Amino acid sequence: MKTYTRLIICFTVTALISLGLVLASPAADSPAAAVHGLDLAAIDRSIKPGVDFFAYANGNWLKTAQIPADRSSYGSDAMLIELTNKRTAALIREADVRSASQSAETRQIGDYYASFMDETGIEARGLTPLAPALQRIAAIADRAALSRELGGSVLADVDVLNNTNLYTDNLFGLWFAADLSDPTRYIPFVLQGGLDMPDRDYYLDGSTRMAAIRGEYKAHIERVLTLAHLANAHAKAGRIFDLEHRIATVHWSREDSEDVLKGNNRWTRRDFEVRAPGIDWPIFFKAARLEAQSEFTVWQPSAVTGIAALVASESLDTWRDYLAFHAIEHAATYLPKAFVVENFAFHGKVLAGTQALRERWKRGVDATSAALGEAVGKLYVQRYFSPAEKTRAEALVASLVAAFGQRIDNLDWMAPQTKVKAKEKLATLKVGVGYPDKWRDYSGLKVIRGDALGNFERSQQFEYQRNLAKLGKPVDRSEWVMNPQLVNAVNLPALNSLNFPAAILQPPYFDPARPAVMDYGATGATIGHEISHSFDDQGALFDAGGRLHNWWTKEDLAHFKASAARLVAQYNTYRPFPDLAVNGKQTLSENIADVAGLSVAYDAYRASLHGKDASAAQGFSADQQFFLSFAQSWQQKIREPALRQRIVTDGHAPAAYRADTVRNLDAWYPAFDVKPGEALYLARQDRVHIW
Ligand SMILES: [Zn+2]
């Protein structure tokens, strides 16, 4: 909900953890690097801008672009991600060449990658690396042992407010972050989990499409168990599916899970025993190394209650089968080829519509970057993010912050006392540009050459331990949640800070070789988007110190909600499929941020002219360049199943509709001579101006 998310949907659970890194073939040219300025060839001049601005800006490209077989979508983001990942891949492969001058950290990178690439070794070992886990699960003889296994397998694998990853295949997910009621300290957040498919809708939705996916899923479970030589695979698959179905029925919906006011529930250790019987909680927490922690934030209380009850009511046999299946699925990327192929057949083909499995080296780069993110990021920044570009990006951020401040001053609906608090929050906003002030220390992570699965498991434990160690320490506002080599940006509400990774600050979004107005339309809008999250319906809930505490007056909020309701209605009309529309409520925060970000970027660009006229370029006026640069930054083609998955699970509207944000800005109308009666035309009173 808080990220900018130009991300691509990935095909496996572990790939999701790798934050969407997707690579092109090593031989492909990089269009992203070749084009400076607007992509003129992409524009379809047969389409009126006021009828379909996304198609006007990108139509010719859409006609000819092919989504590569190993991807679920493709576009400007994917091209930039490809370029970045090719560079990252080269850095990682260089790290695999041992040299005397190599740092210990570079050697870790090289060894992690080389272990993943050792297919022969992985085939030869078969399921042996997973045997200890499978034996442990098979030996579970009572509820106490089951509770120990469940507690011992939790990871720091979810994130409610920053990266907004609400999914875990473990029964519960943990997030270690600033306490929303007391942001001076860290607290563990407990989230619902336990489903192998992406969301409860996949289990509960009555449509024939989802029913068909459920059929494919049961067959997938059976094939995985068969590959692992587990007896009675068919019957077990049915029971595992039924258990997941029961878990899904107690899950909160995505919409409810994104509601911060519903999620900030304080539970003591005792509350778990009273309110969620079924799990032996003292054993669970000891296994999770949380026995000393007295307070937790339980994000979806009734789901925790429901899941704990299932731990007691379902047979131990079913739980053992379920845990064995989940252990195999979780490790699939690191197992022999038959498991990788089966994992892709369901998670890639069925769930995302991707046609071909990506080459192994690309997956190896993803896996390495996921395990040693900032170590790889350090190498990336040294080579590809110059101090000059960091300075230029910081200046752009400063101009956006100033423009946002101006907007706050000029608002006619916000009470003066709220404006004071808004300005205070803007003044304390910590904006990270390019990379973190201090790098993460990976020296405690043991990477053993030749032990691919062990490296993966140790990297997850390392991350868990790093998060456990936060408890009891002061909250670090300088921490980053994105790697520098990631094409994305994020707002961290409880830290009142933003991260703009180096990789999003490059062409075609940010380019010293083109008119600055185009940078305002693309990266300026991204920066404005992230800043505005600090002041939207969610941002209103967090004060300058990151405390969950509404600092708006009732009237401010009422006005804001009325405008927001109009934006919900605007997006509810977007219907990419006859049976599926964009959910205006689910995507509201992001849509508000898109409108605000674009508006503020426009102001900042106008202010940068200091009263002078901006020059025309490539046959377009400066205002036209601004809006076209924005719409082309959303250039994207996406496969049907992936688009469906995104509409169901994502807090962002699909790219095409994000490009159409322009219809809410008055300046867009004269720039493209948009007339009443055209599909995107909004009468002045229907344009939503929140900021
Ligand atoms: Zn956002």
**If you measure from the C-alpha of residue 486 to the centroid of ligand 1, how many angstroms do you get, rounded to a whole number?**
15
Ligand 1 centroid to 515 CA: how many Å? 26
Separation of CA 157 and ligand 1 centre (Å): 20
Distance 315 CA to ligand 1 centre (A): 42
pLDDT in tens, 629-642: 999 999 999 999 99
Q: How far is the CA of 531 from the centre of ligand 1 (A)?
A: 9
Ligand 1 mean position, distance from CA 532 (Å)? 9
Over 5-67, what HEC string results? Answer: CCCCCCCCHHHHHCCCCCCCCCCCCCHHHHCCCCCHHHCCCCCCCCCCHHHHHHHHHHHHCCC
For residue 346, the model assigns a pLDDT of 97
CA of 340 to the centre of ligand 1 (A): 33
Q: Report pLDDT for 433.
A: 96
Q: Is the pLDDT of residue 13 over 60?
A: no
- What is the distance in A from the centroid of ligand 1 to the CA of 474? 27
CA of 490 to the centre of ligand 1 (A): 7
**Ligand 1 geometric centre to CA of 453 (Å):** 34
pLDDT digits (tens, 9 = 90+) for 371-410: 999 999 999 999 999 999 999 999 999 999 999 999 999 9
What is the whole-number distance in angstroms between the Cα of residue 5 and the centre of ligand 1? 7
Poorest-pLDDT segment among 14-18, 216-220, 559-563? 14-18
| Cα 79 to ligand 1 centre (Å) | 21
Q: Are 335 and 328 in contact (CB under 8 A)?
A: yes
Could you tell me the distance, in angstroms and rounded to a whole number, from the CA of residue 487 to the centre of ligand 1?
Answer: 14
Residue closest to 106 by CA, chosen among 459, 380, 334: 380
- The four Cα atoms 65, 5, 465, 459 give a dihedral, to 10 degrees, of 0
DSSP, res 477 = T
* Rounded distance from Cα 587 to ligand 1 centre (Å): 9
Centroid of ligand 1 to alpha carbon of 4 (angstroms): 4
- What does 409-437 look like in DSSP terms, one character per residue? HH-SSS-HHHHHHHHHHHHH-EEEEES-S
636-638 and 73-75 strand pairing: antiparallel
DSSP 287-315: HTT-TT--EEEESSHHHHHHHHHHHHHS-
Q: Report the pLDDT value the prediction gives residue 96, as an integer from 0 to 100.
A: 85
C-alpha 258 – ligand 1 centre gap (Å): 13
At 315, is the pLDDT very low, low, confident or very high (cuts 50, 70, 90)?
very high
Distance 530 CA to ligand 1 centre (A): 6
Give residue 256 CA to ligand 1 midpoint distance, Å.
18
CA of 330 to the centre of ligand 1 (A): 29
Question: Ligand 1 centre from 164 Cα, in Å?
Answer: 10
Centroid of ligand 1 to alpha carbon of 540 (angstroms) = 15
651 C-alpha to center of ligand 1: Å?
8
Q: What is the whole-number distance in angstroms between the Cα of residue 659 and the centre of ligand 1?
A: 14
Task: Please tell me the predicted confidence (pLDDT) of residue 672.
Answer: 98
Q: How many angstroms does the Cα of residue 104 sit away from the middle of ligand 1?
A: 37
For residue 81, give the nearest of 635, 678, 668, 689 by alpha carbon. 635
CA of 325 to the centre of ligand 1 (A): 35
> Which residues face 295 on adjacent strands?
268
What is the Å distance from ligand 1's center to 605 Cα? 21
Tally of CA atoms within 13 A in the half-sphere of 261 that contains its CB: 7
> What tens digit of pLDDT does each residue of 570-602 get?
999 999 999 999 999 999 989 999 999 999 999
Ranges 161-165, 194-198, 220-224, 553-557: which has the least confidence: 161-165
Among residues 340, 332, 379, which one has the least CA distance to residue 359?
A: 340
The owner of tokens 């878990």 is 247
Give the pLDDT confidence score for residue 546 in this predicted structure.
87
Long-range contacts, stretch 612-616, CB < 8 angstroms, 24+ apart = 614/515, 614/517, 615/515
Q: What is the pLDDT of residues 399-451, one digit of tens each?
A: 999 999 999 999 988 999 999 999 999 999 999 999 999 999 999 999 999 99
pLDDT category at 30 given cuts 50, 70, 90 is very low
- For ligand 1, the distance from its centroid to the CA atom of residue 286, given in whole angstroms, is 37
Distance 590 CA to ligand 1 centre (A): 5
Retrieve residue 123's tokens: 């085939």
The alpha carbon of 145 and the centre of ligand 1 are apart by a number of angstroms equal to 42
What average pLDDT does range 278-290 have in this prediction? 98
Distance 6 CA to ligand 1 centre (A): 10
Q: What's the average model confidence in pLDDT over 280-293?
A: 98
Q: How confident is the model at residue 455 (pLDDT cuts 50, 70, 90)?
A: very high
Rounded mean pLDDT of the chain? 92
* 586 Cα: distance to centroid of ligand 1 (angstroms): 12
| CA 406 to ligand 1 center in whole angstroms | 21
C-alpha of residue 277 to centroid of ligand 1, in Å = 37
Number of alpha carbons in the 13 Å side-chain half-sphere of residue 657: 23
**How do residues 132-151 score in pLDDT, each as one tens digit?**
999 999 999 999 999 999 99
State the distance from the centre of ligand 1 to the C-alpha of 585, rounded, in angstroms: 14
C-alpha 657 – ligand 1 centre gap (Å): 14
User: Tell me: the pLDDT tens digits for 62-102?
Assistant: 999 999 998 899 998 888 988 998 999 999 989 988 888 88
Query: What is the distance between the alpha carbons of residues 328 and 520, in angstroms, rounded to a whole number?
Result: 47
328 CA to middle of ligand 1, Å?
34
| Cross-strand bridge partners of residue 577 | 580
- Ligand 1 centroid vs 523 CA: distance in angstroms? 13
Give one DSSP letter per residue of 92-126, joined into a string.
Answer: HHHHTS--TT--HHHHHHHHHHHHHH-HHHHHHHT
Distance 563 CA to ligand 1 centre (A): 18
For range 114-143, the mean pLDDT: 97
Q: Cα(390) to centroid of ligand 1, in Å?
A: 22
In angstroms, rounded to a whole number, what is the distance separating the alpha carbons of residues 691 and 688? 9
pLDDT range class, residue 493, cuts 50, 70, 90 = confident
Q: How far is the CA of 1 from the centre of ligand 1 (A)?
A: 6
Instruction: Give me ligand 1 centre to Cα 584, in Å.
Output: 14
